């Protein structure tokens, strides 16, 4: 019975940002639980590698080259999947910047807000028709960040966007409940990946570890349990509008 609660056999899952370090892990984990996974990302080659890993392990997956900054690109991908509906949407794409406040120009500000926040809005809006009123409630899982608040230094634009993701998640939880769609967010702590490599200097890591009770950075697999819990319509049937920190205790620390 317990194992069945996390069984996603017969479910269809889209992972936006599925070609990244964490996104690729999300894809593999959902596929291992039985879901058919659609890997969305700009890098087609990386997407195919994720698909190959999943297929080699006995799972089912397809890769789509998608530009999340373009509504038409997302809509085309949605239309390609429309025949079977959708059960899980993971919004995991993101980009970071270490530009100091006084040096951020409009172009950089708008680009980071678009990729980290507006793209989440677009994807939720575009895929809702495929997820509404299914036999089992569908699940949207937005990927937020520890930088969403209280604010962290050196990641202003990213942090503001992720704070917006938190707010959007809770708003949509209210808006989409009547359509039998649950909306939650994972709030990872510090997980080394492409988008934060410039931020995680030796000095910065030392400071982070000093503020993290578990005294280590996150590893991609650390998100697996929370991801599957939120994806499952049985394990988290009464959970929506939740912001779930997976951060080694970082958010529990003060001084």
pLDDT of residue 195: 63
pLDDT of residue 194: 67
Task: Choose among 141, 195, 173, 188: nearest CA to 27.
Answer: 141
The answer to whether the CB of 196 falls within 8 A of the CB of 96 is: yes
pLDDT of residue 198: 67
DSSP secondary structure letters along 176-198: HGGGTEEEEEEEE-----GGGTT
Known catalytic residues are 158
pLDDT of residue 229: 98
User: In this predicted model, what pLDDT tens digit does every residue of 177-222 receive, in sequence order?
Assistant: 999 999 999 999 999 876 666 677 888 888 899 999 999 999 999 9
Q: Which residues does 195 contact at the CB level (< 8 Å), separation at least 6? A: 20, 94, 95, 96
Show the low-confidence residues of the chain (pLDDT under 50): none
Which class would CATH give 2-246? alpha beta
The answer to whether the CB of 232 falls within 8 A of the CB of 197 is: no
pLDDT of residue 43: 92
């Amino acid at each position: 019975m317990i194992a069945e609660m996390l069984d996603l056999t017969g479910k269809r899952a889209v992972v936006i940002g599925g070609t990244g370090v964490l996104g690729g892990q999300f894809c593999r984990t959902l596929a291992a639980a039985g879901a058919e996974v659609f890997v969305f990302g700009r890098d087609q080659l990386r997407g195919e590698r994720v698909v190959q890993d999943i297929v080699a392990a006995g799972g089912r997956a397809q890769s789509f080259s998608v530009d999340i900054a373009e509504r038409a690109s997302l809509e085309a991908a949605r239309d390609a999947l429309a025949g079977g509906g959708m059960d899980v949407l993971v919004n995991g794409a993101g980009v970071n910047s270490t530009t100091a406040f006084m040096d951020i120009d409009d172009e950089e500000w708008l680009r980071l807000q678009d990729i980290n926040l507006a793209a989440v809005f677009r994807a939720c809006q575009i895929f809702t028709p495929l997820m509404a009123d299914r036999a089992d409630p569908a699940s949207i899982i937005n990927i937020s960040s520890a930088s969403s608040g209280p604010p962290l230094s050196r990641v202003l634009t990213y942090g503001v966007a992720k704070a917006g993701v938190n707010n959007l998640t809770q708003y949509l939880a209210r808006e989409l409940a009547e359509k039998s769609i649950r909306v939650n967010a994972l709030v990872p702590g510090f997980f080394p990946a492409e988008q934060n490599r410039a931020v995680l200097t030796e000095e910065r890591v030392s400071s982070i570890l000093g503020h993290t009770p578990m005294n280590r950075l996150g590893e991609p697999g650390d998100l697996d349990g929370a991801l599957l819990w939120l994806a499952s319509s049985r394990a988290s049937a009464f959970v929506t509008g939740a912001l779930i920190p997976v951060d080694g205790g970082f958010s529990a620390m003060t001084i």
